[in-house]
C-alpha cells in the first residue's frame, strides 16, 4: 500500500461506512453520494479507485440500474489501467451520469484532505 493510500484510507473508509449505513436504511440515493465522495477522495489510489467503482457496480446491480451497471464495468477497467499513470479526471464523482473524462471542482474540505494525504510528512 503506497503512502497516499495509507494516508487517505481513514477518509475513504469513513465515506464507505456511511454508504453502508445508508444502504442498510434504504437511503440508496444518499448512499451513492457517499460512494461518490469516496471516489473523489480515493481516485488517486488504484486500490481505492477500483474498490469504489466495484461498490458502485454492486449498488447498480442491487438497484437494477443497467446504465450504471454497464458504466461501472467500463470504469473499473479504466481505474485499473489509468490510475497508476495518472490518467484520472480530478474531482470526478465516478458515476455513469458523468463522463469518465470530465474534471470537476473539488470541495475545499476534500481538497485539503487530498493535499495533506499527498504531503510526504
Give the whole-number percent of the chain exceeding pLDDT 70. 98
Q: Is 32 a residue whose pLDDT tops 80?
A: yes
The rounded mean pLDDT for the chain is: 95
Residues in the chain: 121
Comparing C-alpha atoms, which of 97, 14, 27 is closest to residue 63?
A: 27
Q: Output the CA–CA distances (angstroms, integers) from residue 9 to 6, 15, 116, in the order listed.
A: 5, 10, 12
Output the pTM of the full model.
0.95
- Provide the 8-state DSSP code for 100: T
Q: In whole angstroms, give the CA distance from residue 25 to residue 96.
A: 24
Q: Kindly report, residue by residue over 33-59, the tens digit of the pLDDT.
A: 999 999 999 999 999 999 999 999 999
**47: how many CB neighbours lie within 10 A of its CB?**
17
How do the domains of the chain map onto residue ranges? 3-114
Amino acid at each position: 500500500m503506497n503512502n497516499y493510500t495509507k494516508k487517505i484510507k481513514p477518509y475513504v473508509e469513513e465515506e464507505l461506512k456511511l454508504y453502508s449505513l445508508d444502504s442498510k436504511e434504504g437511503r440508496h440515493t444518499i448512499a451513492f453520494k457517499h460512494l461518490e465522495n469516496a471516489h473523489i477522495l480515493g481516485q488517486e489510489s488504484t486500490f481505492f479507485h477500483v474498490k469504489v467503482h466495484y461498490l458502485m457496480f454492486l449498488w447498480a446491480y442491487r438497484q437494477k440500474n443497467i446504465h450504471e451497471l454497464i458504466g461501472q464495468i467500463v470504469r473499473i477497467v479504466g481505474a485499473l489501467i489509468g490510475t497508476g499513470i495518472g490518467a484520472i479526471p480530478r474531482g470526478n464523482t465516478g458515476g455513469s451520469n458523468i463522463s469518465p473524462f470530465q474534471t470537476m471542482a473539488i470541495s475545499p474540505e476534500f481538497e485539503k484532505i487530498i493535499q495533506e494525504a499527498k504531503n510526504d510528512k
